[in-house]
Amino acid sequence: MNELQHIPWGIVAPLIILQLILAVIALIDLVRAERTNGPKWMWVPIILFVSMLGPISYFVLGRRPF
Amino acid sequence: MAPLMEVRQLVKTYGSTRAVNGITFTIEAGRCTALLGPNGAGKTTTLNMLSGLLKPTSGEIRFDGATKGEDLRAYIGYLPQYTAYYNWMTGREFLIYVGQLTGMDKRSAVQRAEELLRLVGIEDAKHRRIGGYSGGMKQRLGLAQAMMHRPRLLVLDEPVSALDPIGRREVLELMKRIRQETTILFSTHVLPDAEEVCDDVLIIRQGEIVIAGSLDEIRKSNQRPVIELELEDGEALADWLPALRELAGSAAVEQNGPVVRFTVEDADELPRIRQQLMIRLAELKAPLSRLEIARTSLEDLFMEAVRR
Amino acid sequence: MKQWFVLFRKELLEAWRNYKWIWIPLVYVMLGIMQPISTYFLPEILEAAGGLPEGAIIQLPEPTGVEVMVKALGNYQTLGLLILVLAFMGTISAERVSGVAGMVLVKPVSFASYLTAKWASAVCLTLVATVLGVLGTWYYTEELIGPVSGSAILAGCLLFGLWLTLLVTLTIALSAMMRSSGAIAFVTLLVAAALSIVSSLSGTKLSWMPGRLTNYAGAAIAQGGMPDGAWGAVISTVIGMILLLYIAVSVFRKKELVA
């Protein structure tokens, strides 16, 4: 618990929030997409757990343009 | 009255192959014309050239009221064989977008879009994304987008061939309604489709037009008598056939199982051939089950034209 | 012109509906602000990682705000550029492959409008992402590291934004001329690398080369204003973009839209 108090949340929180927004938008798009490149379920862990690069790779590689 | 569209010596070559080999035809205003031919005959290539998607290797396309070299796209509404849309748009949005691209202001585009959505019968789906449309709905949206700017000529490439029987029926009925207002040129490889909605046909084969004219005229001028006889025993027919062939003269003889068909080129010859045939059959004591005099149908003509 | 705006509005709407307007600026902000944050926490990170012998003193040079800002631009130069190229490589080629380009261009639509509307939309998005990213980074840098002057940020942002705009222009021009998305991305990144290498090898001789823009952007932040010679590169870049668009439109016009 002591450790957590040392983290300056005022600085780090915005970054975490942006990361969350990015992942949520990628997930929304994934759910709404009819088809993706590669199986749909595969993208869920990638978006959630591969830091910032997960959602980005979904947007540029996973979604089909039309 | 000048024809709506005049096409002269249109040629399209890909390397050494001539996909379209110097075709010439005219489209009269207010009529529906079918471009009829087997797959690979050059139908799509021809229509793509008319709509401006492909550049002709040589030849000329003239449109009534358009100056030479003018962009014809404003006059023509086109439905390609394979439709593609922005799947993220709704049907209504796509039509309005297309309308505005052709120079309509927002209000008249909205009005026209609503009107066409009703006409083609996808009003219920107008606020849904096109990505979720069925094949038949996409085809009907395709008809609507082609008609948005009230083109003087509607060009449809195989509008029904990808549809199931119900969708096909619906689109054909729709075309019958549309043809009341607009000149239509559409391609198909199925004769009944052409017979159902069209006045004129252009039969195309290997990039060349082999028959052109109104359906009625073609039916009349190309009708030839056909003598069809059927024997009880198909096996025996092989023995009789050489003898029957001798009688036929100029008529073409075709055998199909126990049935023999004589297509008589010269109608005046019919009485002679018929009489001799009957005498001969009697002499041979052929086990005849049917003898019939008929006329060639358009289907026969089409098959013959594309096979030759 | 009316038609151009219809096309342009459609592009903006499309980029909004497929979330490009959210995720690209978001990624740019994150890429930028990571730099000051990680610099700020570097001593703690090293400590937490352990491995240093007891009593060892880590002598880290105190980083300046300028240094951090320049490093942040470096993130845009690598990952940021890659993202833009991947996001825009299919702008025209994908529409051609799917056939929807044919559906639109059988309407009386000018090829130049079709292409430039897409270009303008992509450039808008690029610039908004860059500006937001730089502003976010600036804020964090001032808070955590040290001051950087506003005029430095303005000049740096302009020069770097222009560099990204040039490469987005190249991506879209290639997208009009080629069919394979992979090839489009590859060629664009190759050209970007070549431009940077040529201008860094040529010393002061080719100071007007577009490849210099990234160096000028760094220098602008360090000096607090437009560095000498930067305007030459700005002008050559603008001319280069006009030329690229012109070539793309002429090639695209001659292309057959159906196979």
CB B195 within 8 A of CB B167: no
Q: List B residues 256-295 in contact with A (Cβ-Cβ < 8 A).
A: none
Nearest to C14 among B53, B74, B86 (CB): B86
pLDDT, residue A6, reads 67
* Residues from chain C contacting residue A55 (CB–CB below 8 Å): 23
What is residue C139's predicted lDDT score, i.e. its pLDDT?
94
Chain B residue with the nearest C-alpha to that of A64: B87
Residue A52's pLDDT is 84
Nearest CA in chain C to A57: C83
Chain C residues touching A14 at Cβ < 8 A: 33
The answer to whether C115 and C248 have CB atoms below 8 angstroms apart is yes
Non-local (6+) Cβ contacts of C64 within 8 A are C145, C146
Residue B112 CB contacts under 8 Å (≥ 6 apart), including other chains: B95, B99, B104, B148, B150
d(CA B248, CA A20): 87
| CA of A34 vs chain B CAs: smallest distance (Å) | 8
pLDDT at C251: 93
A24 assigned to some structural domain: no
Residues in chain C with pLDDT values less than 70: 50-60, 257-259
Would you state the pLDDT for residue A34? Answer: 78
- C-alpha distances in angstroms, B293 versus B81, B278, C180? 41, 12, 61
**Are B33 and B212 in contact, with CB atoms under 8 Å apart?**
no
State both tokens at B162: 């990808």
Tell me whether residue A15 is in a domain. no
Contact B141, B129 (CB under 8 A): no
Q: Are strands B288-295 and B153-157 parallel, antiparallel or unpaired?
A: unpaired
Nearest CB among C17, C18, C106 relative to B53 is that of C106
Q: How far apart are CA A58 and CA A66, in angstroms?
A: 15
3-state secondary structure labels for all residues of chain B = CCCCEEEEEEEEEECCEEEEEEEEEEECCCCEEEEECCCCCCHHHHHHHHHCCCCCCEEEEEECCCCCCCCHHHCEEEECCCCCCCCCCEHHHHHHHHHHHCCCCHHHHHHHHHHHHHHHCCHHHCCCEHHHCCHHHHHHHHHHHHHCCCCCEEEEECCCCCCCHHHHHHHHHHHHHHCCCCEEEEEECCHHHHHHHCCEEEEEECCEEEEEEEHHHHHHHCCCEEEEEEECCHHHHHHHHHHHHHHHCCCEEEEECCEEEEECCCHHHHHHHHHHHHHHHHHHCCCEEEEEEEECCHHHHHHHHHHC
Q: DSSP letter for C57, please.
A: -
Per CB-CB distance under 8 Å, the chain C contacts of B100 are 3, 6
Chain A CB contacts of C100 below 8 Å = 66
Q: Chains that contact A by 3+ CB pairs under 8 Å?
A: B, C
Q: What is the CA radius of gyration of chain C?
A: 21
Amino acid at C142: E
Tens-binned pLDDT, residue by residue, of chain B (308 aa): 678 999 999 999 988 888 898 899 999 998 999 999 888 888 999 999 998 888 889 998 999 888 877 888 889 999 998 899 999 999 999 999 999 999 999 999 999 999 999 999 899 999 999 999 988 899 999 999 999 999 999 999 999 888 888 888 888 999 999 988 899 999 998 888 888 889 999 999 888 888 888 888 888 777 778 888 888 877 767 777 777 777 777 777 888 778 888 888 777 788 888 888 888 888 878 788 888 888 777 777 788 777 76
C19 with A65: Cβ contact below 8 A: no
Select the more confidently predicted residue: A51 or C134.
C134
Is there a contact between C98 and A66 if contact means CB atoms under 8 Å apart?
yes
Spell out the domain ranges in chain C: 2-254
**The complex's ipTM?**
0.89
Number of structural domains found in chain A: 1
Question: Which residue type sits at C36?
Answer: P
Q: What is the pLDDT of residue A10?
A: 78
Task: Please indicate whether, in this complex, the C-beta atoms of B85 and A34 are within 8 angstroms of each other.
Answer: no
SS3 C259: coil
- Chain A positions touching C94 (Cβ under 8 A) are 65-66
| Other Cβ atoms closer than 10 A to B294 | 13
- Residue A32 forms contact with B (CB below 8 Å): no
Separation of first and last alpha carbons in chain A: 49
Name which of A52, A59, A65 is nearest C30 (Cβ-Cβ): A52
Cβ neighbour number for residue B68 with a 10 Å cutoff = 7
> Chains contacting C with at least 3 CB pairs below 8 Å?
A, B
From the candidates A3, A6, A11, which should be mutated to test the interface with C, based on the most C CB atoms within 10 A?
Answer: A11
Which of B74, B80, B98 has the CB atom closest to C99's CB atom?
B80
Q: Does C33 touch chain A (CB under 8 A)?
A: yes
Tokens found for residue A22 = 């990015």
Whole-structure pTM value:
0.86
Yes or no, beta carbons of A22 and C33 under 8 Å apart: no
* B22: phi then psi, degrees, rounded to nearest 5: 70, 65
Whether residue A38 lies inside any domain: the answer is: yes
Q: Which residue type does C136 have?
A: G
Tell me if C144 and A11 make a contact (CB, 8 A cut-off): yes
DSSP for A12-45, please give it: HHHHHHHHHHHHHHHHHHHHH-S-BSS-HHHHHH
Name chain B contacts of A34, Cβ cutoff 8 Å. 87, 131-132
Q: How confident is the model at residue A5 (pLDDT cuts 50, 70, 90)?
A: low
Q: What are phi and psi of C91, to 5 degrees?
A: -45, -50
- pLDDT value at position B55? 87
